[in-house]
Amino acid sequence: MSSLWRVAVDAPLPEALTYRAGPELLLQRGQIVLVPLGKRKVRGLLLGPADSEPTGFELKFIEAVDAEYPPLPEHFIRWIEWLSRYYLYPPGPTALTTLPPLSRQVKERKSKRASVVPEMAPSTPPVLTEEQRRCIDGINAHEGFNTHLVFGVTGSGKTEIYLQLLEKTLSEGKSGLVLVPEISLTPQLVQRFAARFGDSIAALHSQLTDRERTNQWWDMIEGRKKILIGARSALFCPIENLGLIVVDEEHEPSFKQDEKLKYHGRDAAVMLGHLKNCPVILGSATPSLETWNNALEGKYRLHTLKNRVAGRELPTMKIVDLREKPEPSKNYPMNLPYWMSPDLYLAMSETLSRGEQVALFLNRRGMANLVVCPSCGHTRECPNCDINLTLHAGNHLICHYCDYHENFKQKCPDCREGQMETIGLGTELIEKDLAPFFPGKKISRADRDEIQNRIDLEEMVRQMEEGETDILVGTQMIAKGLDFPRLKLVGLVLADVGFNLPDFRATERSFQLITQMAGRSGRHVAPGESPGSVIIQTFNTDHDSLKFAVHHDFEGFAAHEISFRKALNYPPAGRIVSFRIQAGDLSKAKQTSRLLASRARALQERHEPYKGLEILGPAEAPLARIRNQYRFQILMKGPRPDVLNSFARQILGDEKWIPAGARILADVDPLHLL
Buried b (16+ CB within 10 A) or exposed e, 300-334: bbbbbbebbbeebbbbebebbebeeeeeeeeebee
User: Do residues 9 and 44 make contact, with C-beta atoms less than 8 angstroms apart?
Assistant: yes
pLDDT digits (tens, 9 = 90+) for 263-322: 999 999 999 999 999 999 999 999 999 999 999 999 999 999 999 888 888 899 999 999
Question: Is 443 in the same domain as 417?
Answer: no
Question: Is 296 in the same domain as 373?
Answer: no
| 40-49 vs 487-492, strand pairing mode | unpaired
Residue 48: beta bridge partners? 6
pLDDT digits (tens, 9 = 90+) for 561-585: 999 999 989 999 999 999 999 999 9
Residue 638: give its domain's CATH number: 3.30.70.600
Mean pLDDT on 357-383:
90
* The pLDDT of residue 528 is above 80: no
Residue 579: beta bridge partners? 634, 666
Question: Is 430 in the same domain as 317?
Answer: yes
How far from chain centre, in Å, is Cα 188? 19
Asked if the structure places residue 80 within a domain, the reply is no
Mean pLDDT on 389-394:
88
pLDDT digits (tens, 9 = 90+) for 151-165: 999 889 999 999 999
Mean pLDDT on 518-545:
89
Residue 476 confidence (pLDDT): 85
* The pLDDT of residue 481 is above 80: no
Question: Is 285 in the same domain as 329?
Answer: no
Within 8 A by CB and 6+ apart from 421, the residues are 371, 372, 373, 374
Residue 106 confidence (pLDDT): 61
Residue 369 confidence (pLDDT): 81
User: Do residues 551 and 610 make contact, with C-beta atoms less than 8 angstroms apart?
Assistant: no
**Quick one: pLDDT band at residue 326, thresholds 50, 70, 90?**
confident
Residue 417 confidence (pLDDT): 87
- For Cα atoms 204, 206, 210, give the angle at the middle one, nearest 5 degrees: 75
Question: Is 292 in the same domain as 154?
Answer: yes
Kind and range of the H or E run holding 617: strand 614-626
Mean pLDDT on 456-478:
90
Mean pLDDT on 359-381:
89
CA distances from 153 to 128, 319, 671 (A): 16, 20, 24
Radius of gyration of the chain (CA): 27
Question: Is 420 in the same domain as 430?
Answer: no
**Quick one: pLDDT band at residue 649, thresholds 50, 70, 90?**
very high
CA distances from 247 to 255, 282, 294, 345 (A): 9, 5, 16, 38
Kind and range of the H or E run holding 45: strand 40-49
Residues 234, 382: Cα–Cα separation, whole Å: 35
Taking the model in full, what pTM does it have? 0.93
Residue 53 confidence (pLDDT): 86
Asked if the structure places residue 149 within a domain, the reply is yes
Q: Tally Cβ neighbours within 10 Å of residue 461.
A: 20
Question: Is 201 in the same domain as 169?
Answer: yes
**Full domain range(s) for residue 9:** 4-73
pLDDT digits (tens, 9 = 90+) for 233-262: 999 999 999 999 999 999 999 999 998 999
Low-confidence winner among 362-376, 508-522, 653-667 (lowest mean pLDDT) = 362-376
Question: Is 348 in the same domain as 486?
Answer: yes
Residue 521: give its domain's CATH number: 3.40.50.300
**Quick one: pLDDT band at residue 185, thresholds 50, 70, 90?**
low
Determine the longest span between alpha carbons in the chain, in angstroms.
91
pLDDT digits (tens, 9 = 90+) for 582-635: 999 999 999 999 999 999 999 999 999 999 999 999 999 999 999 999 999 999
Question: Is 431 in the same domain as 420?
Answer: no
Residue that terminates a domain, selected from 562, 590, 611 = 562
Low-confidence winner among 1-10, 99-108, 423-432, 542-551 (lowest mean pLDDT) = 99-108
CA distances from 379 to 93, 444, 497, 629 (A): 42, 30, 20, 21
Which residue type, as a one-letter code, is found at position 508?
E
Name the domain count of the chain.
5
Query: Which among 184, 279, 169 is positioned nearest to 234, based on CA atoms?
Result: 184
User: Do residues 443 and 431 make contact, with C-beta atoms less than 8 angstroms apart?
Assistant: yes
